[in-house]
Amino acid sequence: MSLDLSARHVTTRAGSPARLALALIAVTTAANLHTPLAARYAMADGLGTGAAGLAFAAYVGGALPMLLAGAGLPDRLGRGRTLSLALGLAILADLIVIARPGLAALGLSRALLGIAVAATSTLAPAFMTAQFAPGTDPRRIAARVSVATTFGFGFGAAMTALCLIVDPLAWMRPLTFLAYPALAGFALLAVSGLPQGAGRRPDAPMLRRPTFPAGTLPFGFAILVAWAVVGVVIAVLPATLARAGLDSYAGLATFLVIVPGILAVPAARRMTPETAIRHGLLILIPAYALIAWGALDGRIWAVLTGTALAATSCYGLVHAGGLAGVLIRAGQAATGATAGFYLLAYLGFSLPVIVTGRIADLAGQEVALGGFGAALVMAVLVLCGLAARTSPR
């Protein structure tokens, strides 16, 4: 089945998926650029895991209003201008942390990044569609968006972690923080002149609620569960690793729970979306078991193996498969349906992190990680059954 998400073309210029992918990478690189230092900022400020999780989840404080009330922004400004605005917000977020390193600055920075990434997420599929010929398979489009954003989410964290390994004393302002504005500026140039697939509509309403077309909710709930695991690894796990003297591996764990997912995207393209999310969710259970056991027992090989395994689910099968499933079912309502998909994704990325971090402060890391694991198993079993029932016969 094929789908043209941009039926109204206002330009005949050839598109450039590579240039758009660079811009998507630049925005999502900022999303986790600062997160390897969340635990250190919390310790420096005399705060605990719960506070670090709250600062991390401030990302969703920016993302949710954008998804709920700003989904019409790409129509009003145009997709290119909206993406340029997102890049500008990402630069500002980075400068805030450079100017005043600490947990409060991190929280404000992540709120701005939530706005930037949410705006980018909702326009990316339709904008990428405009770079291809009409009628292109939506699985190909979803795969291109998934690979670009997945690489960006992991790249920022990995580069910051590498800087900390090379120069541990520069943890207040690693080189990556100083280099990011140059990357974002280059991406701003790349966006210029790309075909957008639809003209600006200055009178378009800003308020456009996320939508959940028939058959798309299983994909949304699947990404909620998958990104909850990612959030716990990024925001809660560093404190557990620090207790075992393994805090220098926190950035690498963040990288591994995201970027290896790229390798699973081709497999997701060959499967039906329902099959992709079922396989992805089932992988999460042993992956998380390895992560939690390794962190609590001080076995870094288990943590790194588990995070790499989880990435194949979270950013490979579930993300690429789920997004393709939403695009196939949404038709011309792709923008609203994409906003609905990411609304659930960001809820998963934040609320479980806040709860798990608070439980860790009150009852200990073992209870927090164990309770999250039990909830994960129950959610996976329910969703796999739901996906099986909604799969086309």
**pLDDT tens for residues 109-155?**
999 999 999 889 888 888 898 888 888 887 788 888 888 988 898 88
**Domain total for the chain?**
1
In a domain, residue 308? The reply is: yes
Q: For residues 268 and 316, give the distance between their C-alpha atoms in angstroms, rounded to a whole number.
A: 7
In a domain, residue 200? The reply is: no
pLDDT at 202: 67
In a domain, residue 201? The reply is: no
In a domain, residue 2? The reply is: no
Q: For residues 300 and 267, give the distance between their C-alpha atoms in angstroms, rounded to a whole number.
A: 28
Q: Which stretches of the chain score pLDDT less than 70? A: 1-14, 71, 198-200, 202-208, 332, 387-393
In a domain, residue 4? The reply is: no
pLDDT at 199: 62
pLDDT at 11: 42
In a domain, residue 10? The reply is: no
Range of the domain at 55: 17-195+207-390
Q: What is the CATH number of the domain that holds 312?
A: 1.20.1250.20
pLDDT tens, 219-247?
Answer: 999 999 999 999 898 878 887 887 888 87
Q: How far is CA 220 from the centre of its chain?
A: 13
In a domain, residue 11? The reply is: no
* pTM given for the model: 0.77
CB of 305 within 8 A of CB of 257? no
In a domain, residue 7? The reply is: no
Q: For residues 143 and 383, give the distance between their C-alpha atoms in angstroms, rounded to a whole number.
A: 22
Neighbours of 378 (CB within 10 A): 9
Q: For residues 75 and 8, give the distance between their C-alpha atoms in angstroms, rounded to a whole number.
A: 13
CB of 67 within 8 A of CB of 118? yes
CB of 180 within 8 A of CB of 188? no
